């Protein structure tokens, strides 16, 4: 059943004025995302007629845009992806681990999305693989399915990687499975320290190679000393790695993945109203507990669209990746 309000409704109503107001400041991929969402399942994309041979009733079904940022198209994509992943599940406990960038680094990432998001994946996965392989911890090769999210619940920029990790791995030599403790995978403080070191060292290397770009109020970071001063506080700050208790069986893993793998900045189900006062939607305030965590926010249409477009990914960027024994070439042999 169609949601009473959809992101597409907001884009159709406020999108044309937004394009005019921000002409020259929107990327081609952002414009394409806006157009795809506005035209999804409308006559603009064509369609077909479905008819019942018994009663004669017929209806028009319009085509989907299939854009990965479209809230309406990701449900089917998630179901297809999950069907392919179901055969890969192992009869072990699974852990959920989250790596998040501090705000000072997230600001840099926003102006260098392709490089910084890729570095986030690489630093987080290498951290997990390195600590898991250490004989002081598990001493095994683990598997990781990682998913990039770039938003907080209020659609602000908050880049982080969710990882689903089997509770154990393959011992050196490849002949034996070693299980982790039932409720403990790896020490989060150790993970946080290595993640910080790896990410900052490689971010600095990108800066030294002249591969980072800075605009507006951050243009001064082009200068090396200014960049070092900007990073100085985060070198001393604790980088939080969050590890949840293991899932209750493979079915729970699939249920989680179905919610997270193909999620976009905001789903249609969270929208409450769209009127002269703005766009009203539900969000979670993680600084509060219990019933107070669920709250309501109203944004002007322009600000709603701006926040949504913050999370448009670079063209061709892979937001779901697999590492270790779940990496492409090794997956079948490792699972067997």
The predicted-structure confidence for 203-236, as pLDDT tens digits, reads as follows 999 999 999 999 999 999 999 999 999 999 999 9
Q: Is pLDDT of 255 > 90?
A: no
Q: Is pLDDT of 23 > 90?
A: yes
3-class DSSP assignment, residue 150: strand
The secondary element (H helix, E strand) that includes residue 234 is helix 224-236
Q: What is the pairing mode between strands 271-275 and 294-299?
A: unpaired
Average pLDDT over residues 165-175: 89
Q: How confident is the model at residue 128 (pLDDT cuts 50, 70, 90)?
A: very high
Count how many Cα atoms sit within 13 Å of the Cα of residue 155 in the half-sphere of its side chain: 24
Choose among 148, 160, 190, 149: nearest CA to 100: 160
What average pLDDT does the structure give for the chain? 89
Average pLDDT over residues 99-122: 96
List the single range of 35-39, 179-183, 317-321 with lowest mean pLDDT. Answer: 179-183
Average pLDDT over residues 114-131: 98
Quote the pLDDT of residue 127.
98
Convert the pLDDT of each residue in 282-319 to its tens digit: 998 877 777 778 899 999 999 999 999 999 999 999 99
Quote the pLDDT of residue 1.
40
Convert the pLDDT of each residue in 258-275 to its tens digit: 677 777 889 899 999 999
Give phi and psi for 151, each to the nearest 5: -125, 155
CA distances 184 to 124, 174, 179, Å, are: 18, 23, 10
Give me 277's structure tokens. 């006062």
Is the CB of residue 197 less than 8 Å from the CB of residue 205? no
Choose among 145, 158, 157, 177: nearest CA to 260: 145
Give phi and psi for 279, each to the nearest 5: -105, 120
Q: Is pLDDT of 174 > 80?
A: yes
């Amino acid at each position: 059943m169609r949601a009473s309000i959809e992101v597409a409704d907001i884009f159709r109503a406020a999108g044309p004025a937004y394009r005019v107001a921000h002409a020259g400041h929107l990327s081609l991929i952002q414009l394409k995302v806006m157009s795809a969402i506005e035209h999804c399942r409308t006559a603009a994309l064509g369609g077909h007629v479905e008819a019942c041979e018994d009663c004669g009733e017929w209806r028009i079904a319009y085509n989907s845009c299939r854009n990965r940022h479209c809230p309406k198209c990701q449900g089917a994509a998630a179901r297809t992806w999950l069907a392919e992943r179901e055969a890969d599940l192992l009869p072990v406990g699974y852990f959920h681990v989250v790596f998040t960038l501090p705000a000072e680094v997230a600001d840099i990432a926003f102006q260098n999305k392709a490089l910084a998001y890729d570095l986030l994946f690489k630093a987080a996965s290498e951290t997990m693989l390195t600590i898991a392989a250490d004989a002081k911890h598990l001493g095994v090769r683990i598997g990781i399915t990682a998913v990039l999210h770039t938003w907080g619940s209020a659609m602000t920029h908050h880049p982080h990687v969710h990882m689903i990790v089997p509770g154990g791995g393959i011992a050196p030599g490849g002949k034996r499975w070693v299980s982790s403790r039932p409720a403990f995978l790896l020490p989060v403080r150790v993970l946080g320290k290595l993640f910080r070191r790896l990410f900052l060292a490689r971010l600095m290397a990108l800066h030294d190679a002249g591969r980072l770009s800075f605009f507006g109020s951050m243009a001064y970071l082009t200068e090396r000393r200014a960049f070092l001063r900007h990073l100085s506080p985060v070198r001393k700050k604790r980088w939080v790695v969050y590890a949840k208790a293991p899932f209750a069986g493979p079915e729970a893993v699939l249920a989680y993945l179905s919610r997270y793998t193909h999620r976009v900045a905001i789903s249609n189900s969270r929208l409450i109203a769209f009127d002269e006062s703005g766009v009203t939607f539900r969000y979670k305030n993680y600084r509060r507990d219990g019933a107070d965590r669920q709250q309501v926010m109203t944004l002007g249409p322009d600000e709603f669209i701006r926040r949504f477009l913050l999370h448009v990914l670079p063209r061709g960027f892979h937001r779901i990746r697999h590492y270790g024994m779940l990496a492409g070439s090794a997956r079948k042999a490792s699972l067997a």
